Amino acid sequence: MVLYVAMAKSEQDYLDRAGELLFQHKLRFEGLSGWPCLMMRYPWVGPEVVEHYPIRAIVISGFGHGWDEMEMSELYGLYDLLHAVEVPVLGICGGHQLLAHVFTKDFRSTGELRDQPMRRLQPGEPDWAPDYHPGYFVETGIQPVTVIHPDPLFAELPEVIYVRQSHFCEVKHLPADFHLLASSDHCRLQAMRHPRRPVYGVQFHPEMYTEHYPHGRRVLLNFFTIAGADTENQVTEG
């Protein structure tokens, strides 16, 4: 079973994103892994989840709101799970940034998590996402990412992959001993891995692959292969 952690800030946000989370993400994870996918909002996730369900892999979603809109206490369970779990983990976009926070901070002594924008726009530079975070550079659309360290997550992929981006924040500093796996011109920490466990973070959105840009699909297949799924027989397209 795949556990999909939805980083929706509220029940209403969860409902508003239900179509995207269910049809664009959850069903794709099920089709590619061959396993059922349990989707839960993050305040309900903790170590007890892997004790009650046969979780084989964990995927953490992205999100479009600020870190200051989350209650730190609601992240404690997920924080504890990520420090203890042995199954493979894939943090996507905001989930990637969450992993960096989890492995550099003690959440119970941290007042709040802060946004870490890539940079402000330069004078005269066009604002391609004025309704998202006006005045800040946003990496969006299909963009090239360069794989700089061989890893099973990028097996059967070229050195430069083309994947969907949608973020204005980034991971500024690699957590201690983590391996940097991929970079782009605008964002240095595009992919990383825990030094001892199959815990991965990717700034891009592999789940938003298309027929013409399928590299994200291969990243997901590789991740589920790492988790033990028989992906060679999974040909379903979500």
> CA-to-CA distance for 178 and 199, rounded, in angstroms?
10
Q: Is residue 169 part of a domain?
A: yes
pLDDT at residue 232 tops 80: no
Residue 155 pLDDT class (50, 70, 90 cuts): very high
SS3 content of the chain, % helix, strand, coil (to 5): 35, 20, 45
Q: Is 207 a catalytic residue?
A: yes
Would 129 be classed as within a structural domain?
A: yes
Q: Tell me the C-alpha distance between 94 and 71, whole Å.
A: 15
The one catalytic residue in 25, 37, 93, 187 is 93
pLDDT in tens, 160-211: 999 999 888 899 999 999 999 999 999 999 999 999 999 999 999 999 999 9
Nearest to 113 by CA among 197, 201, 7, 37: 7
Number of domains the chain is built from? 1
pLDDT higher than threshold 80 for residue 233: no
Catalytic residue among 133, 167, 205, 215: 205
Q: Which domain holds residue 84?
A: 2-233
Q: Residue 238: inside a domain, yes or no?
A: no
Residue 213 lies in a domain: yes
Residue 82 covered by a domain: yes
Report strand pairing: 139-147 vs 179-183: antiparallel
| Radius of gyration of the chain, Cα coordinates, nearest whole angstrom | 17
Catalytic residue among 25, 133, 207, 215: 207
Average pLDDT, the chain: 92
pTM exceeding 0.85: yes
Instruction: Tell me the CATH number at 88.
Output: 3.40.50.880
**Residue 93 is among the residues annotated as catalytic for this protein:** yes
Tell me, yes or no, if 51 is annotated catalytic. Answer: no
Which residues are CB-contacts of 141 (< 8 A; sequence separation ≥ 6)?
Answer: 164, 165
98 located within any domain: yes
The reported pLDDT for the residue numbered 237 is: 47
pLDDT digits 0-9 by tens, 113-138: 988 897 988 998 888 778 787 888 88
